[in-house]
Amino acid sequence: MSNAPAPLDNMDLPMPSPRQQSWMMAKHHVGLQIGALIVLVFTIWAVFAPFLAPADPYVQNLANRLAPMIWQDGGSWDHILGTDGFGRDLLSRLIWGTQVTMIVGFGAAFISGVVGTTLGMLGGYLGGKIDAAVIFLINVKLAMPGVLIALSLVSIFGGSLLSITIILSLLFWDRFAVVTRTATQQVRTREYIAAAECSGASKAWILFREILPNISNQIIVIGSLEMGIAILIEAALSFLGLGIQPPTPSWGILVSEARDTMFFKPHLIVIPGLAICILVIGINLLGDGIRDITEPQGRN
Amino acid sequence: MLQYFVKRLGIALLVVLTVSVISFGLLRLSGDLAQNLAGEGATPAQVDEIRVLYGLDRSMIAQYFDWAGSALKGDLGRSLFSNDPVFELITHRLPVTFTLAVSSLLLAICVALPLGVFAAVYRNSWIDRAALGLAVFGSAVPSFWFALVLIYVFGVQFRLLPISGSTTWAHFIMPTVTLSTMVMPQIMRLTRGGMIDALDADYVKMAWAKGLNPMAVFFKHALRNALLPVVSLAAVSLGFLLGGSVIVESVFSVNGIGSLAYESIKRADFPVVQSILFVLSFVYVVLTLLSDLINARIDPRIRLH
């Protein structure tokens, strides 16, 4: 028996596990890779800002205002992206601003995700009066002009990192609720839910151990979408002066501070704006990519 | 149809009522209104006098009904800042914002609808990829920044367009373009998705099998069904644009309701803010109600649910 030939076909090989399949698909998913790279770079900026920033983002140097970028005439390695109207190093402010952006964006998406998913799952699974109440709450939320509400709340509660994050999470829970409610309604009719109910599982067990894992795909996609929108709104609020307060380097504040000098120093506006744009695109690509590779229907 | 209409109307009224309670609560959250009205150097006695004069010493519930009662008669109170009637301030500014929002929506539809249809018909072609790329970029670009870039390019470098104000139609071009990017990607994606679903549907295969010409299949059979969700989205988008124009209006100094809200928030003129929130939600509810009725009219399946 020791000389028996090895099997020529791979019929007996086990099917790759779902995780292996996802990994194989990720290797060919360009959008996912670009998104992951962008998010990774900005996350590193945010986490290691104190070590990466070449200068203190708050130190003003009025003798060296509006210094040019490195590749422009008179640029120097001291200030790679030049300095702003107060002589502060733009690159350092940009890197520190990543921290503000990521905290607010992730925090708002996370809190609104928890709130919206809870409401959506409760409405979708329990139905009846509770579902009607959830739908009503969603309708009320949709009828309120979000940006104006956020502006008024910031003017009341102030522009700290915590209050902005909480105010923004009040704005974005509705899409989580709408999507998870529909997804829960679809999952609820499956056999494994009936099996869990028959075996006497509690409602909480069914919601969190049976339904939640099966709708997590949709939650990730909405989460990435909302994180992108939260970042855009935070920047807009800070730009309007009713968000994060100067001198904290939020990307929206960088743009608003450079407005006075934009006609002769446009790069001070272009660079932070592009940073916002690239990060949001990266987050959206990453979210879409994760959905593509984890979706059971997408596998072979 | 009538039953459906009555049910929707009832819910809409309830939503408006809830929103009015919330926007009223927001005003009370903002601190002691009597102190605001009296000003910085007022003595406690003067503040108390104003509190009684404006009825602020009564219970919150009594005050709410007082406010709601006069709001029903079209009296939204007076601005703390200019003492003008809030109703007049709003009706004076609303047409500007309405023009801006409607023209932005029209522009978005004019670009997004054909793009979505072409992207769906020529799936995975370069048109599809370009449309998706545009949608990705459009939903990631900060509108205030896009507005500044437009000002720099078309207002300053080429000197083609006026950069602030709202006096002539030329003043509306850049604000309209900026605002339309906020809704264009969504409309494009929804049209594309709806078209793809419709093109795969049996009734479209049937239309092909009958030997209809491609134009009739695309426009009469597929697009008609793909448009249903787009009608709802357009109504929602218009409501969103009315409230979301605050950013664009402040960058371009457009004298609309958004900049009125922004200025009023900054100077804590909460009777104005509260009324704007209420009016905008009211408009939104009316718009969604209308779109539901239009959809129920087009699609009998909705009525029966």
Lowest-confidence pick of A4-18, A203-217, B110-124: A4-18
CATH 1.10.3720.10 fits B86-298, yes or no: yes
Q: pLDDT class for B154, splitting at 50, 70, 90? A: confident
**Cβ atoms of A253 and A244 closer than 8 Å:** yes
pLDDT of residue B302: 66
Of A147, A235, A259, the CB nearest to B246: A147
Which residues make up the CATH 1.10.3720.10 domain(s) of chain B? 86-298
The average pLDDT across B245-272 equals 88
The rounded distance, in Å, linking the Cα atoms of B289 and B232 is 10
Instruction: Give CA separation, A32 vs A29, A55, A283, B124, B188, in Å.
Output: 5, 33, 10, 18, 22
DSSP for B29-70, written as a single string = HTS-HHHHHH-TT--HHHHHHHHHHTTTTS-HHHHHHHHHHH
Asked if residue A12 has pLDDT above 70, the reply is no
Q: Which ranges constitute the DSSP H helices of chain B?
A: 2-29, 33-38, 44-53, 60-72, 86-121, 126-138, 143-150, 173-180, 184-200, 202-209, 214-215, 224-251, 257-266, 270-298, 300-304
Q: From the CA of A266, how many Å to the nearest CA of chain B?
A: 8
Helix (H, G, I), strand (E, B) or coil at A89: strand
Q: pLDDT class for B110, splitting at 50, 70, 90? A: very high
User: Mutate which of B129, B144, B279, B289 to disrupt the A interface (most A C-beta within 10 Å)?
Assistant: B144
| Chain B interface includes A48 (CB < 8 A) | no
| Chain A interface includes B246 (CB < 8 A) | yes
Q: From the CA of A53, how many Å to the nearest CA of chain B?
A: 24
Q: Do A280 and B139 touch (CB under 8 A)?
A: yes
Instruction: Give CA separation, A269 vs A10, A239, A276, B164, in Å.
Output: 58, 11, 11, 18
Q: From the CA of B97, how many Å to the nearest CA of chain A?
A: 14
- Chain B residues closer than 8 Å to A151 by CB: 246, 261-262, 265
The rounded distance, in Å, linking the Cα atoms of A189 and A193 is 7
Lowest-confidence pick of A12-16, A32-36, A189-193, B136-140: A12-16
Q: Do B14 and A136 touch (CB under 8 A)?
A: yes
CATH 1.10.3720.10 fits A31-48+80-299, yes or no: yes
Q: Do A148 and B280 touch (CB under 8 A)?
A: yes
Q: Do A255 and B285 touch (CB under 8 A)?
A: no
Q: Do A280 and B140 touch (CB under 8 A)?
A: yes
Of B31, B136, B281, the CB nearest to A281: B136
Give the tens place of pLDDT for each residue, A170-187.
888 988 999 999 888 888
- Matching residue, tokens 């529909």: A182
Of B16, B140, B246, the CB nearest to A228: B140
User: Mutate which of A38, A101, A104, A148 to disrupt the B interface (most B C-beta within 10 Å)?
Assistant: A148
pLDDT of residue A299: 41
Q: From the CA of A64, how many Å to the nearest CA of chain B?
A: 25
Q: Do A280 and B19 touch (CB under 8 A)?
A: no
Q: Do A240 and B250 touch (CB under 8 A)?
A: yes
Asked if residue A298 has pLDDT above 70, the reply is no
Complex ipTM, two decimals? 0.87
Interface of B with A in 205-244 (CB under 8 A): 236, 239-240, 242-244
> How many CB atoms neighbour CB B284 within 10 A?
24
